[in-house]
């Protein structure tokens, strides 16, 4: 009897010990559901690749905000495991995002996806806090005029410095973060439990097409921007339901990937954005995912191919290019970008939201859609 009891205790300690040993979020005060989400994502990334789709729940290529509708579900019968949302234009206090989506409806769909047991990721194409205050230059034409004051306005290299402590736009930037914090604080379930989500601001740092890009600010400024943002939301506003995703666009070395990395005490996920721009994509993605996921695992961080997209003119991209590469690595999820409502140009000229080959990706034993992560609930781990 005694032996049985000790075996039971040892077994309990081993099992309990194992669960406890799983990595956890950088935020030491992360809520129970957030810790559970982190651990679930950690385990899931060893098992398969979740599919994520930006704005999947907000609109599709032929519809605009119909409750519970999703292009992914229309086409495959299941929702994506990961639903992406975008907060650009929340910062100046607008009611709708830069993609014309209502922030109230975004909050509703975050709750709906959480209730279904799905994972939520949020991006933020914040306006340019410096140039948006200036009038459009008289000589600005076409594209320059269109991008004036937006996230894509990269005419000044002073922007990040201007919003950090001591900068002339620092107070304004605090107002932006206040608005962000208020929105995040409103993401609660029916019982008032904060909904955990992945936040991926200041993305694609390795490129220079956003005002926080690699040639537009210094790596130190970029890192300080990250730290300031996380400390504001986490420590000042007491938000403990956020998993923070560091992100770059295509890179060729780990050194390049890590430029501006704010630190393991700030970041929870090492993610990569990489779109297919030609035949060399498969090989490049392979090399990059190899060093990014290795680094992430060594640091006990989560991973994702947080934005990708197929090659023009290829109808079997999902199964022949993307899947063979991502299946080789512990990639948490793969997310494809939004299906613009009624686009004038489309990747494939057929009357359906995805190419047929997407079903091969869906049916692959390597991929996970919502139903496959519902059973082992990622938030309760029951």
Residues that bind ligand BMA in the complex, under the rule CB under 6 A: 86, 88, 98-99, 125, 337-338
Query: Alpha-carbon distance 114 to 120, whole Å?
Result: 7
CA distances from 204 to 44, 84, 99, 188, 301 (A): 24, 16, 19, 29, 18
DSSP class of residue 154 equals -
Q: 305 phi and psi, to 5 degrees?
A: -95, 85
CB of 288 to ligand BMA, least distance (A): 20
Dihedral angle over CA of 363, 365, 371, 375, nearest 10: 160
- The nearer residue to ligand BMA, 33 or 249, going by C-beta atoms, is 249
CA distances from 57 to 112, 177, 333 (A): 9, 25, 17
Query: Alpha-carbon distance 234 to 36, whole Å?
Result: 18
> 190-220: b or e for each residue (b if 16 or more CB lie within 10 Å)?
eeeebbbbbbbbbbbbbbbebbbbbebbeee
Answer for the pair 58, 106: CB distance below 8 angstroms, yes or no: yes
Answer for the pair 368, 81: CB distance below 8 angstroms, yes or no: yes
Answer for the pair 152, 204: CB distance below 8 angstroms, yes or no: no
Query: Alpha-carbon distance 138 to 117, whole Å?
Result: 50
Q: What share of the chain is helix, strand, coil (3-state, %, to 5)?
A: 40, 15, 45
Q: Which residue is nearest to ligand BMA (CB)?
A: 86
CA distances from 315 to 51, 299, 310, 357 (A): 18, 37, 9, 7
CA angle 107/110/116 to nearest 5° reads 145
- H-helix or E-strand spanning residue 251: none
- The nearer residue to ligand BMA, 113 or 338, going by C-beta atoms, is 338
Contacts of 222 (CB under 8 A, 6+ apart): 160, 202, 205, 212, 214, 260, 262
């Amino acid at each position: 009897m005694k032996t049985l009891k000790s075996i039971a205790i040892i077994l309990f300690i081993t099992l309990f010990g194992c669960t406890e040993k799983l990595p956890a979020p950088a935020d030491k005060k992360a809520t129970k559901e957030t810790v559970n989400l982190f651990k679930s994502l950690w385990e899931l990334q060893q098992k398969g690749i979740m599919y994520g789709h930006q704005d999947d729940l907000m609109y599709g290529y032929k519809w605009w905000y119909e409750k519970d509708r999703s292009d992914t579900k229309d086409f495959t019968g299941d929702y994506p495991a990961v639903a992406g949302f975008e907060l650009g234009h929340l910062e100046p206090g607008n009611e709708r995002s830069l993609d014309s989506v209502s922030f109230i409806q975004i909050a509703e769909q975050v709750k709906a996806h959480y209730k279904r047991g799905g994972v939520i990721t949020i991006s933020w194409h914040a306006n340019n806090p410096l140039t948006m205050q200036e009038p459009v230059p008289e000589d600005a034409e076409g594209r320059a005029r269109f991008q004036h004051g937006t996230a894509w306005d990269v005419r000044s290299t002073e922007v990040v410095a201007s919003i950090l402590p001591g900068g002339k736009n620092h107070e304004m930037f605090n107002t932006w973060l206040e608005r962000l914090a208020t929105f995040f604080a409103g993401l609660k379930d029916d019982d008032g439990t904060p909904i955990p989500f992945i936040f991926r601001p200041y993305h694609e740092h390795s490129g220079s097409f956003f005002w926080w890009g690699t040639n537009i600010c210094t790596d130190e400024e970029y890192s300080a921007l990250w730290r300031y943002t996380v400390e504001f939301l986490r420590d000042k506003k007491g938000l403990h339901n956020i998993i923070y995703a560091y992100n770059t666009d295509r890179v060729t070395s780990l050194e390049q990937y890590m430029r501006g990395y704010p630190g393991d005490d700030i970041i929870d996920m090492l993610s990569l954005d990489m779109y297919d721009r030609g035949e060399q994509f498969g090989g490049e993605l392979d090399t990059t995912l190899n060093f990014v996921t290795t680094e992430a695992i060594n640091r006990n961080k989560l991973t994702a191919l947080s934005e990708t997209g197929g090659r023009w003119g290829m109808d079997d991209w999902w199964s022949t290019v993307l899947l063979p590469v991502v299946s080789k690595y512990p990639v948490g999820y793969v997310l494809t970008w939004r299906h613009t409502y009624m686009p004038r140009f489309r990747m494939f000229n057929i009357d359906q939201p995805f190419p047929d080959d997407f079903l091969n990706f869906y049916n692959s034993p390597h991929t996970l859609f919502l139903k496959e992560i519902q059973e082992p609930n990622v938030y309760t781990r029951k």
